Amino acid sequence: MSSNPTHITAPDGTPFIEVIREFDAPRDLVFRASTEPDLVARWLGPREMAMRVIEYDARPGGRYRYVHAAPDGAEYAFRGVFHTVSEPLIIQTFEFEGAPGSVSLESTALDEIGGRTRMRHSAVFPSVAARDQALAAGMERGINDSMDRLAELLAAGAVRPGR
C-alpha cells in the first residue's frame, strides 16, 4: 500500500495518542458502527483476533467488556464505561485487564463533509509511561487494522441507516 490513510500521532513525552481517519460513508453510519455491539465486533482490534462481546451498553453510564482471542488461544480482556454517547461524540474509559488500574480516557468525534466522515479519535493515559507501554505493546498496529476493517465494513454495505 502506497500510503496509510490512518494518521496516528503520539508526541514524545506526552500521554496522548491521536488518530485521524476518513471514511467514505455518512456520519450516522460511522456512529452506528461505533456503538452497536454486533457491528463493533466486526472491526475493533487486530485483524487476526476474534472479538467476543460480553457487554456493550453504549449510553452514558453504560459499561462495556470484550475479549480478543488470538489464533494461539491467548485471550485479552478490556473494559470501561461510557461517559458521553451523543452523535457525533463518544467519550469512554478504557482499561486492559492485563494492566489493571491503568485507565485511559478515549474520545471519538465525527465530522461529516460532503457525505464523507472524518473520525478524530484521541486517547489520554494516566502517565507518559503508561502511554509508552501501550505503544510498545503494539497499539499502533491494532489501530491501523481497526480503521482499515471499519472502512471495509462500511464499503461492503454492512452498516444500514435507520432500523
Q: Is residue 107 a contact point for a second copy (CB under 8 A)?
A: yes
Q: Is residue 126 a contact point for a second copy (CB under 8 A)?
A: yes
Task: Name the one range near a second copy by CB under 8 A: 32-40, 41-49, 79-87, 152-160.
Answer: 79-87
**Judged by CB, which is closer to a second copy: 9, or 84?**
84
Q: Would you say the C-alpha torsion 150, 142, 77, 81 has a positive or negative sign?
A: negative
* b/e map 66-80, b = 16+ CB within 10 Å: bbbbeeeeeebebbb
Give the C-alpha distances (Å, rounded to integers) separating 17 from 33, 38, 57, 59, 150.
Answer: 22, 26, 25, 24, 19
CA 119 remoteness from chain centre? 10
Q: Is residue 129 a contact point for a second copy (CB under 8 A)?
A: no
Q: Is residue 9 a contact point for a second copy (CB under 8 A)?
A: no
Q: Would you say the C-alpha torsion 10, 49, 6, 115 has a positive or negative sign?
A: negative
Give the C-alpha distances (Å, rounded to integers) separating 77 from 24, 70, 95.
Answer: 31, 11, 9
Task: Name the one range near a second copy by CB under 8 A: 35-43, 45-53, 56-64, 136-144.
Answer: 56-64
Q: Is residue 132 a contact point for a second copy (CB under 8 A)?
A: no
Site for a second copy in 14-53 (CB under 8 A): 14-16
Q: Is residue 103 a contact point for a second copy (CB under 8 A)?
A: yes
Residues that bind a second copy (CB under 8 A): 14-16, 60-63, 80-84, 89, 91, 93, 95, 101, 103-105, 107, 122, 124-127
